[in-house]
Structure 1
């Protein structure tokens, strides 16, 4: 098999399973080659293909774990003959058997099967390829999944392969406009985990987890410091059953979590709950929250009947920001993505900004480069804060807000000019000098704003800049002008989209 995947090489002959030498990149490339050459790509989207790879890996790993020696065997969540049967079926028989199996595992009545919490998330509302695609599915089972021992693949590489394949589905995910899904670039998430100082003792949550990229970035940061992590280290929720499925598979394939364990991912509307994220009765308080919520204004909004703790009732990003600021326990750290409108808008957004500065230590605002979420047509920022207790003196919990401008002169896209780790090195170094927050110093891109001055203004606008804008001479290069025009058109399109979404259907 190409890319070093397969059997019969020297390592395998010497007693080392060939799968032990696989890399995430090679696994992803082999599976994508099968997608291009072995399936009808017009009938099966990339995201549908990745979902089915996830289903099959779940069933194959479940079977392999059950076949271990007694001391190391895990009880299967699927029937013991499920995987062996699939490899022998084709056509209508394969479609019928796998549909029944997925329906059974996706059953939400767990009264008699509490061990199927995770399976119920993975297979809930799962849609199998059509009957006319069973020949392709049979080849995927028999040629790509069945012959190999996936438990021998290094856990980090297996997780890396799945994450890579999800990133390759960005166009399909961006089309999920109704739920506002997007993929957050990994370099940004890695910078966030550094600024939040995520470590192995933390409990990290994401109340709008999507495909789970935020939780995986946190997991990798935690794993770098300690290879033994608590089973409750990660928790997430999402309104979209498909995103819950993908984030659950993402976590399983990265962590090796037992399939019979309680699920870390819930299908839920967290904005309706007065807790940071829906959990399975663990009672453990989160210490870190990372959230890139939907940048959309339509949909069901919480009101006083369900959230009498809210400061105001706004759009989705405004509500997720205050949801975390209100429900996180004292001392918890958070990073929340917000569009520009949350920084300067009136009404609910202004009320949330004022309360946020008073009740939390909002220590950093990162203005992200343009173009990162180009299909959404908005510019994005990240607010970093620590939940704080109100001061007896009545002073706001925030003393100074530091603004880092990574936007001016920077335009990136997820394809032609993606961001890299190096693009955020200066931001991380500026936020975390050797002497800690107290040793921060201003620079061309980093500026301090005393919060008392911000609160003096009626709207408490946080649409703040560093030192770059006044220093730019002329109109910039043709490339910069073109990008600025494109950004303005994106913003206009976003406003028109909001108007269209608010219009009645008839």
Structure 2
């Protein structure tokens, strides 16, 4: 994680130089002064394009450690860099020696980063090297699962998107990529649209300052200049005032934690009285969403069938007071090597007036990778190796699942049946398993074959005896 942090700072420094170059070109074209310059004329020596040419590693190290790094920590203002500067106040420069710094600067400079995808791929590669779960129950969501959830939700340019446990901002990055792919014209049709995309569309909360720095940089490298990535303990009483602000929530909140009633927001306890973080986060999502807002979130299987009063109450709220749209049951290997817990994707819409008619279930059995700790890629063209394209296709045409049998991978279950089962949302409660009928030979025939085999063995024994005589 520390290596990624240090790389983050260098990529950030490089990006600031690129932004300044863009401002200079614009000023040259228009004949106007540079608009909100990042570097003044007296700070030119702090720019990547200047210091990368220093031949002496010791001079480079001294300049970066004593001048450049303090400079990026002190940045502010309303420009593209402000979000990142806010998370830099307790950052430390820990690259140990001049030779290593010089080598890393040369290597980063050699990578062509004009393309947003190149920068994003580099960052995704680094994030993929975080091989252990975090201290607070958080672990990195695999990119293909994030992409699946984003494609199921199909964000629109008008959406205000939030991840209240954002970590490295994987969900927000994927949502930004989806919008760039499917709605690029609308995002940049005028200055107001571009400002909305860069400043107002994406919101992420986390209380881990390292994650905030890494997540902010991840967004920047994927072309979102100034997202609202905030240091916030989403479940605490101190942030209880935030509600009804977002039209789309994408999240994989921490599991298996518990909070003291005193430290938890009182309005969440009013929705569901519990100490369990996974239930509190679901209550939080309902609070944060606007009426009509949608959510796709990862939950541990226990949320779907837990028998405690809080578990049942929350499931009843989702089914009766809002619109529970669907549940994708995932195999237990999806989060390996971080964790082997069984999980599901919960998809719902906040209505405050009910609306659940049928709930769509999908039994995911394969995600394109082996379900062991190695997570090797399988032949994704085969359905039995990768259900993800089928999930997306069936989700967007789920009305057509009305007549599917419960033996298939996806089907609809009426609300009345779910209510009759004490709001149990486990797919095993509703799917039907077909047992293949095995046809056995008649006993007389099996006995005759055994006798024949016995006779063959005896003949072989006789032959062996003859050979030994």
Q: Structure 1 length normalisation: TM-score?
A: 0.70
Give the alignment partner of residue 244 of structure 1, picking from 209, 212, 217.
212
Give the alignment partner of residue 161 of structure 2, picking from 190, 196, 204.
204
- Change in Cα spacing, 1:311 to 1:405, as seen in structure 2 (3 Å) is same
Question: Any idea what SS the aligned residue of 1:295 has?
Answer: coil
Deviations 1:62-92 (A, max 9, x none): 1232234352556454654323575447459
C-alpha displacement of 1:51: 2.4
Give the alignment partner of residue 386 of structure 1, picking from 339, 349, 357.
349
Query: Using the alignment, how far apart are the partners of 2:18 and 2:393 within structure 1?
Result: 45
For 1:71, the equivalent position in structure 2 comes to 26
For 2:444, the equivalent position in structure 1 comes to none
- Change in Cα spacing, 1:242 to 1:308, as seen in structure 2 (3 Å) is same
Question: Is 1:239–1:267's contact at 8 Å kept on the other side of the alignment?
Answer: yes
| Higher CA-based Rg | 2
Query: Using the alignment, how far apart are the partners of 2:181 and 2:60 within structure 1?
Result: 46
Query: Using the alignment, how far apart are the partners of 2:4 and 2:37 within structure 1?
Result: 23
Question: Any idea what SS the aligned residue of 2:211 has?
Answer: helix
Query: Using the alignment, how far apart are the partners of 2:373 and 2:157 within structure 1?
Result: 30
Query: Using the alignment, how far apart are the partners of 1:241 and 1:300 within structure 2?
Result: 22
Deviates more, 1:410-419 or 1:244-253: 410-419
Higher normalized contact order (CA 8 Å, seq sep 6+, divided by chain length):
1
For 1:445, the equivalent position in structure 2 comes to 409
C-alpha displacement of 1:125: 2.7
Give the alignment partner of residue 294 of structure 2, picking from 306, 311, 333.
333
Give the alignment partner of residue 291 of structure 1, picking from 251, 260, 270.
251
For 1:462, the equivalent position in structure 2 comes to 425
C-alpha displacement of 1:144: 1.9
Q: How many equivalent pairs are there?
A: 399
Deviates more, 1:194-203 or 1:323-332: 194-203
- The two structures, once aligned, show a CA RMSD in angstroms of 3.3
For 1:399, the equivalent position in structure 2 comes to 357
Gaps of 5+ in 2: 28-33, 188-196, 438-469
- Change in Cα spacing, 1:347 to 1:65, as seen in structure 2 (3 Å) is same
- Change in Cα spacing, 1:439 to 1:52, as seen in structure 2 (3 Å) is same
Question: Is 2:329–2:343's contact at 8 Å kept on the other side of the alignment?
Answer: yes
For 1:37, the equivalent position in structure 2 comes to none
Question: Any idea what SS the aligned residue of 1:123 has?
Answer: coil
Query: Using the alignment, how far apart are the partners of 1:106 and 1:437 within structure 2?
Result: 53
Question: Any idea what SS the aligned residue of 1:144 has?
Answer: helix
- Change in Cα spacing, 1:388 to 1:70, as seen in structure 2 (3 Å) is same
Deviations 1:435-467 (A, max 9, x none): x63664425111322222322344x22222287
For 1:311, the equivalent position in structure 2 comes to 272
Gaps of 5+ in 1: 1-46, 278-283, 391-395, 475-506
Give the alignment partner of residue 221 of structure 2, picking from 234, 244, 253.
253
C-alpha displacement of 1:326: 2.7
Question: Any idea what SS the aligned residue of 1:334 has?
Answer: strand
1:194 equivalent in alignment to 2:148: no
